[in-house]
Amino acid sequence: MSEEVKVGIVGASGYTGAELMRLLWGHPGALVGVFTANKYAGKSVGSLYPSLGPYYEGSYTEYDPAALEGCDIVFLGLPHGKSMKVAPELLEMGLKVIDMSADFRLGGMEEYELWYGISHECPELLTEAAYGLPEIYRTEIAGARLVANPGCYPTATLLGLFPAARGGLINGTVVVDAKSGVSGAGRGLTLQTHFPQVADGMAPYAVSGHRHLPEVRGGLAGLAQDPEPKVVFTPHLAPMNRGILCTIYVPLADDAEPSEVRGVYESAYAGEEFVHLLEEGCYPDTKSVQGGNDCHVALEFPGSDMLIVMTVIDNLVKGASGQAVQNMNILCGLPEGTGLAGPAVFP
């Protein structure tokens, strides 16, 4: 691969596409040459995102696979159900693809159709795609041509659970209480994300079953070697632009000691650039990761048989575009933190 990674972004007008353009502008080894948005084709980037205008002089274009032939990596920032229509032809062109939709996150066609209500057009790629959570699957990512970038809730949840799951410490039903900023719903306008509806309040949604639940279950099943892990997952919409906070209640095996559990987490995160275990007595907050690719993790032990894991991420960065850049770095043999390192914006 050339020294400079040539990048295309298909579906660049959404929040995740714009965040990709922000992050990649500062990436020393990448150049964004193509950014498509059929709805806004011909419009300047600055007309939609004034913050990006001074840094991207071109205009959005309509999707044309021929225009992507010179790229090394193509990011798909398309809605669910759209990525599977274009990924096969891009892969046939020899391009590496990082998909930010849910089209390749689930391992089976039946499960995808159950949760998303549409037939999968290329089920053969479901088992080929590498799940793009680098802290757990970087070896698989490095050898892939198609990476399924994880959802924001599963990222925050699985990063909080994988040391306990891998260490065989979970003994019962895991309860995940998750809260997300409004940008997680995307740029589309809905009554639920309308400012008067969201401001000064907070509410649960999709309580009977969120689309990220099978992703969490699938990830936990692989880590814990349990084909049917028990998980209760309740998301909430919080009146903030960015951020996810997960409070995870984990029933522990009878012989698990707090010092042992903390040691398992310290060992799991040792050397990780973006996952940080906070000091004892410190709790995470979403402001401390805003704009950054970090995940902060804290542990609390309310009793001898219970662990509370608290995690925070920026849903648009570590929960989406930042993680996608992290995956790009792995695919291209670059240091994993290239273009991503640095403290978050605070306050």
Q: How many CA atoms lie within 13 A of 181 on its CB side?
A: 21
Residues 153-172: b if buried by 16+ CB within 10 A, e if exposed = bbbbbbbbbbbbbbbebbee
3-state DSSP helix/strand/coil percent for the chain, to nearest 5? 35, 20, 45
Q: What is the CA radius of gyration of the chain?
A: 20
> Inter-axis angle of helices 134-142 and 322-331, to 10 degrees?
40
Q: Helices (H), strands (E): how many in the chain?
A: 10, 13
From the list 71, 122, 152, 332, the catalytic residue is 152
Alpha helices for the chain (secondary structure H): 15-25, 45-48, 83-92, 109-116, 134-142, 152-166, 195-198, 213-224, 258-269, 322-331
Question: Is 71 among the catalytic positions?
Answer: no
- 193 phi, psi to nearest 5 deg: -105, 10
CA distance 193 to 318: 22
Distances (CA, A) of 263 to 151, 253, 266, 277, 295: 28, 15, 5, 11, 18
**DSSP-derived 3-state class of residue 258:** helix
Residue whose C-alpha is closest to residue 279's, from 298, 295, 264: 298
* Active site positions, annotated: 152
